[in-house]
Amino acid sequence: MAASENITSGFPSDPPGFSANPPGSSANPPGFPFDWEKYSDLYEEITVPARTVLLREGDISRQAYYIKKGCLRLSFNDNGKDITFQFFFENYGVSSFESFRNGRPSLFGIESLEPSTLLVISKKNLDRMIAEVPGYKAFMEEALYQRLEHYTRLFLSRIRDTPRKRYEDLLKEHPEVIQRIPQHFIASYLGITPVSLSRIRNRVG
């Protein structure tokens, strides 16, 4: 099921790139540079079922998402094979940033894996916040640096670490993935088959 772009409708190991308490909460987290409620006219809250496509690979991203509840998956097609490379959970911001920022076709797709409640903001409105909110541009830049650092570690792990080591690190650092994500998506994220993942899980216990 595809979610319309205009309906009111991985998981980094670093702090969330766009995280904050949801609108209506009593306070923003330390260091967050603005009051959600002051800008409530700039975003919409949507609720989508599991397996809702929010962005298709190759389309131009026109929205960014903040997860109040649920889980999103980032994936791409490799010669007909669906590859998962990121999961995001509550209090994370998600977008195909290069596409969202520059109007280029997205290199990956975004879909919900669980029923999800999301805040949605357009590029125009996000640009307005960056221009008007003191400190927000620097906040966003720091978030992107953190995300880049995570992707660098992920890339090196794929080259350096064994599948078992990648699974053990995932189990230790992000047990929510093991608890909430279907096994075939976890296997894809780790770069192995579901059969290989099952064997590793049996050995690790």
pLDDT of 26 > 60? The answer is no
Does the pLDDT at position 123 exceed 80? yes
pLDDT band at residue 32 under the 50/70/90 scheme? low
Domains by residue range for the chain, with CATH: 1-133 (2.60.120.10)
- To which residue do tokens 């290989």 refer? 196
